[in-house]
Amino acid sequence: MYFFLACLSLLDVCYSSVTLPAMLANAITGNRKISFNGCLTQLYFFVCFGGTECLFLTVMAYDRYVAICNPLHYTTTMNKKVCSYLVVACWFSGMMNAMFHTTMTWKLTFCGARHIRHYFCDVLPLLQAACSDIYDSQVLLHVVTFFIGITPFILVTHSYIRIISTILKIRSTARRQKVFSTCSSHLIVVTVFYSTAIFNYNGPNSGDSFVFVRMASLLYSIVPPLLNPVVYCLRNKEVKRALRDVLTKLYILFKL
């Protein structure tokens, strides 16, 4: 579990760093221009980290399923080798997904003012700004959304249904509440992430209103990385104890 938490923390740092610094710089300086190569670079890393997180949350849900529903087989099922392979597979799939989208977008023709109606370079705003045929890009978008968005969400939902049914069989009320509170928090964050991302990438076609799409983009690109440390770490007693120890050592060090 802590191996996955460390990987999730790294992924969230990378995911939020793609858009937030640029958004803050644009808000402070008022300069909203970005080069075409810079836009494609931002698109690649945003899609890469977003797709990787979709798959990674599925892996973490499966990890919790094995830990709660099959605890006696946990150490053999989720050994270090399997965990490493799962993480590598998530990153590889995310990078391949980003490469496909970036390549398809690079082949499009952009004309006129090249104005992007969005906070950052994402797939749908770039498709809307293109003046060439975007049918192939839209097909790729829907196919990828099914395999990296809808399918993982179904697997996560199935895992948590099995987890909740196992929790309800626990006789101790205190243990049941403890496990259920943690899982419910995970499920809320996962639901916000998947539902907004799936709607965003299967949302309006070019020419439609992008107001809700922009709000959905903010929800799945900012809220999960913000809440993940609270849900996955600060609710854990061992993590809170370790954090207190670190803060105490730092306080003693600066006091000296």
- Count other C-beta atoms under 10 Å from residue 151's C-beta: 14
pLDDT tens column, 89-115: 999 999 999 999 999 999 888 876 677
Report how far residue 149's alpha carbon sits from residue 43's, in angstroms, rounded to the nearest whole number.
Answer: 17
The mean of the pLDDT values for the chain is 83
The confidence score (pLDDT) of residue 87 equals 95
Identify whether 250 is part of a domain. no
Stronger pLDDT, 253 or 40, i.e. the higher one: 40
Binning pLDDT at 50, 70 and 90, where does residue 182 land? low
Determine the number of helices (DSSP H) and then strands (DSSP E) in the chain. 10, 0
Asked if residue 103 belongs to a domain, the reply is yes
Position 181 scores a pLDDT of 67
CATH number assigned to the domain comprising residue 97: 1.20.1070.10
Q: Which domain holds residue 205?
A: 2-227
By CB neighbour count within 10 A (0-12 exposed, 13-18 middle, 19+ buried), where does 175 fall? exposed
Residue 106: inside a domain: yes
**Phi first, then psi: what are they for 75, rounded to 5°?**
-65, -30
Share in percent of the chain as helix, strand, coil (round to 5) = 80, 0, 20
What pLDDT digit, counting tens, does each position of 199-243 carry?
777 754 544 455 666 777 777 777 777 777 777 666 667 777 877
pTM exceeding the 0.85 threshold for the entire prediction: no
Confidence band of 52 (pLDDT split at 50, 70, 90): very high
- Residue-level pLDDT at 69: 87
239 assigned to some structural domain: no
Name the domain count of the chain. 1
pLDDT at residue 86 greater than cutoff 60: yes
